[in-house]
Amino acid sequence: MNRLFKNAWVFHDGGFSRENLAVSGSRIVSFDGGDIFEESDFTDCIIVPGFADVHVHFREPGFFYKESISSGSMAAARGGYTAVCAMPNLLPPPDSLENLKRELEIIERDAVIEVVPYGCITKGRRGLELADLKAMAPFVSAFSDDGSGVDDARLLKEAMLQAKALGKVIAAHCEVRELAAGGYVNECEFQRLNGHKGISSASEYKMIERDLELAKQTGVKYHVCHVSAKESVALIRQAKADGIDVTCETAPHYLCLDDGCLQDDGRFKMNPPLRGIKDREALVEGLFDGTVDMIATDHAPHSAEEKSKGLKDSAMGVVGLETAFPVLYTELVKKKNLPLKRLIEAMCVSPRRRFGLQGGLLAAGSPADLTVIDLNASFEINPENFLSKGKSTPFAGKKVFGRVLLTLKNGRTVWKENTTKN
């Protein structure tokens, strides 16, 4: 099928230019007017490479009632994503080639976009014995025990050495268990006034501090998941200046919310928790100056029952794939003057570069992985309309700008909004 997208602002070479973009089959092509193309007018819209999220939980195999590869990948496509990396807190966990193949078979059958799994760092994600990293390496994006940190420094160092030899990233959930145990919100005024148990920022940055030293010793490609604290940003900024091969991500909720937004509602419960306003400001500053390399949603769906028990007893985690771009565009680009190109870099270019994901270019010959967005379209976030099985978001009811109209994966339409301009 030949398609011509006309009059859009197209992202390439780090900026936008108004032009037409042609797709033939699975590829972007040069348009010479010789063939017949189906035309769509996207005046005043932007066309960007499909977003990439390196931190999602698709729950399959093992927890199909929360999410599936099918529902999760469709939600991602609706949010403008064409590639995601799926975390390993599954049943069975992908800690061996045999277990990993079970996940890969489901992905091959059901995914509508590129879904690349993580392999576990340790067997069963228990932090006691290394998983078979070498056998899994050709099939995974990176290695992580996300949801748990690796407490044993010697074991993590050995994992880093193996990952270094295999050319793979170690993506770390940084949490000192003794400092976080039993907590579920940030240590803050809301926590104290309402009798909740807090999680200190030290539980995050103390583990990052340890891991950065190990990364320095081993030379591994080290990635810090879901950074939430100002001290963490400072440590990572200094580590980069010192030449350590480190990248990091943060999530939309840490950039756009803080503990002043807390309510006794499960949709405000995630790990790490929403931090203070100074932490949020440090994360935004880090995104501006490049210390924060990328934005990942930590899309973590649960059933309605699991999220209906208030802050204390609800499951940890919120969904984010279907709301990430409009929330970030509204809060950071429109309100804080973050350059739009920087947001696109953080949602597309940087994650693909670090994790070796395909795509990211809108040039003749490249795969037609792209997203069309109407920046002027406003709407109210309604979780009942989500394609994800998970409906729990702290952004419910928020008015936002930036509607995803169309997502293509290898030239195939994987999402089309009913209001697409023709």
**Percent of the chain at pLDDT exceeding 90:** 95
Helix axes 202-218, 230-241, angle to 10 degrees: 20
* Cβ atoms 106, 75 nearer than 8 A: no
CA angle 397, 399, 404 (to 5 degrees): 105
DSSP 154-199: HHHHHHHHHHHHHT-EEEE----HHHHTT--EESSHHHHHTTPPEE
**Rounded CA gap, 309 and 195, in Å?**
16
pLDDT band at residue 418, thresholds of 50, 70 and 90? confident
The predicted-structure confidence for 110-125, as pLDDT tens digits, reads as follows 999 999 999 999 999 9
Q: What distance in Å separates the CA atoms of residue 23 and residue 146, rounded to the nearest whole number?
A: 38
Tell me which of 359 and 241 has the higher pLDDT. Answer: 241
Residue 361 near residue 27, CB atoms below 8 Å? no
Question: What is the pLDDT averaged over residues 178-205?
Answer: 96
Residue 129: band (very low, low, confident or very high) from pLDDT cuts 50, 70, 90 = very high
Six-digit token string for 290? 């490049």
Tell me the backbone φ, ψ of residue 169, rounded to 5 degrees: -85, 140
Question: Is residue 314 over pLDDT 80?
Answer: yes
419 has pLDDT over 60 = no
pLDDT at 302 over 80: yes
pLDDT in tens, 247-262: 999 999 999 999 999 9
Residue with the two structure tokens 């490479």? 49
Residue 1, pLDDT score: 85
Side chain identity at residue 21, one-letter code? L
DSSP string, 233-287: HHHHHHHHHTT--EEEEE-HHHHH--GGG--SSGGG--SSPP--HHHHHHHHHHH
Identify whether 369 is a catalytic site residue: no
Mean pLDDT of 375-391: 99
Six token digits for residue 177? 């268990």
Judge residue 422's burial from the number of C-beta atoms within 10 Å of its C-beta, 0-12 exposed, 13-18 middle, 19 or more buried.
exposed
Tell me how far CA of residue 275 lies from CA of 204, 283, 293, in angstroms: 11, 11, 19
Which residue out of 259, 298, 369, 374 is catalytically annotated? Answer: 298
- Structure tokens given for 217: 């010793």
User: Vertex 184, ends 182 and 190: CA angle to 5°?
Assistant: 125
- Ordered domains of the chain (ranges, CATH): 49-355 (3.20.20.140)
Rounded CA separation 112/13 (Å): 27
Tokens of 288: 């501006």
* pLDDT attached to residue 141: 98
Which residues lie below 8 Å from residue 365, measured CB to CB, with a gap of 6+?
27, 28, 29
Span 169-176, mean pLDDT? 98
Q: pLDDT tens digits for 325-363?
A: 999 999 999 999 999 999 999 999 999 999 999 889 999
Contact between residue 115 and residue 147 where contact means Cβ atoms under 8 Å apart: no
DSSP 298-315: -B----TTTTSSHHHHSP
Q: What tens digit of pLDDT does each residue of 54-111 get?
A: 999 999 999 999 999 999 999 999 999 999 999 999 999 999 999 999 999 999 999 9
Residue 34 pLDDT exceeds 80: no
Between CA 301 and CA 260 the distance in angstroms is 23
> Closest by alpha carbon to 418, among 370, 390, 377, 368?
377
Nearest to 295 by CA among 268, 269, 265, 333: 333
Phi, then psi, of 146 in degrees rounded to 5: -45, 140
List, as own/partner pairs, every contact residues 208-212 make where C-beta atoms lie below 8 angstroms and the sequence separation is at least 24, other chains included: 208/172, 208/174, 208/232, 208/235, 208/236, 209/235, 210/153, 211/156, 211/172, 211/174, 212/236, 212/239, 212/244, 212/246
Q: Two tokens at 326?
A: 């409009």
Q: Across residues 261-278, what is the average pLDDT?
A: 98
When pLDDT is cut at 50, 70 and 90, the band that residue 422 belongs to is: very low
Q: Torsion over CA of 192, 193, 197 and 199, rounded to 10 degrees?
A: -50
Q: What is the pTM of this model?
A: 0.97
Q: Is the pLDDT of residue 303 over 90?
A: yes
CA distance 11 to 15: 5
